[in-house]
Amino acid sequence: MNIERNLIISILKLTKNGSISKEIVKKDARVTSEIAEKIFKKLHSSSLVYLQNNFLEADSLQRLKLAVYAVQLGADLETVSSHLQWKEFEDMAAFALERNGYGVVRNLRFKHIGHRWEIDVVGFRKPMVLCVDCKHWHRGMYPSALKRIVEEQVTRTLALAEVSQSLAGKVEWASWSKAKFFPVVLSLTAGRFKFYNDVPIVPILQLQDFLNQLPAYANSLKHFTRP
């Protein structure tokens, strides 16, 4: 299991910019060729990597799945997450939102009461505006860290709700007669908490399920209504 875990970590480290030679991955992971080839085939049959001749490749979704799998095998969450890129989280969030009929704005920057704010991904589908904070590692989501993360996202979301009408011409929801703004925190893996103060903590690979269920319980979640 440790050998497989180490090989996956090497794959994550080396596939950030596209395909990589299998020999380089084996050397980085310090795994014998025979064992490595067995693991490569296993990952390929599970659709976690692409194999072509002597090269290996993993797209953004595969890399996220590999990261989750490595953590399940006992890899340190911070180590695994250090090999993921912020853009990969944002790409997955934007893809899932668009697939579910939401418009998307990424890295939204705005000013409110003398402060500059930024929200990683904003998904909007009338009357809901989801303000998503992409946290690709949480050190296990300890209560003190989780409280800070959630409170910061609640503050950003409230600021956006209060300033939204002044963004007319820049964002679609500024012209809606009514809008509900929801803070959401996106994580790599499931932690001890699914919610904190009614703010959802959503593992990236469960985002689709969250969006499917959202209409049924949206009013029970933390949100801000405008006007």
Which pLDDT score, from 0 to 100, does residue 165 have?
A: 86
Q: Give residue-wise pLDDT tens across range 27-47.
A: 999 999 999 999 999 999 999
Pairing type for strands 115-125 and 128-134 reads: antiparallel
Token representation of residue 162: 């209060």
Structural fold of domain 2-81:
Arc Repressor Mutant, subunit A (1.10.10)
Give the C-alpha separation, 188 to 191, whole Å: 9
pLDDT of residue 84: 83
- 108 close to 161: Cβ distance less than 8 angstroms: no
**Distance (Å, whole) CA 190 – CA 8:** 20
Handedness of CA 102, 148, 67, 119 (dihedral sign): positive
Run of H or E including 42: helix 33-45
Locate the domains of the chain by residue range.
2-81, 86-226
Residue found by looking up tokens 């180490």 in the block: 6
Q: What is the mean pLDDT of residues 181-195?
A: 85
The pLDDT score that the predictor gives to residue 123 is 96
* Of the candidate ranges 47-56, 111-120, 153-162, 185-194, the one whose mean pLDDT is the lowest: 185-194
pTM for the model stands at 0.80
Q: How far is residue 126's CA from residue 61's CA, in Å, rounded to a whole number? A: 28
Quick one: CA torsion of 199, 200, 203, 209, rounded to 10 degrees?
A: -160
Which residue is listed with tokens 């989750």? 68
Looking at CATH, the fold of the domain delimited by 86-226 is given as Trna Endonuclease; Chain: A, domain 1 (3.40.1350)
pLDDT at 188 over 80: no
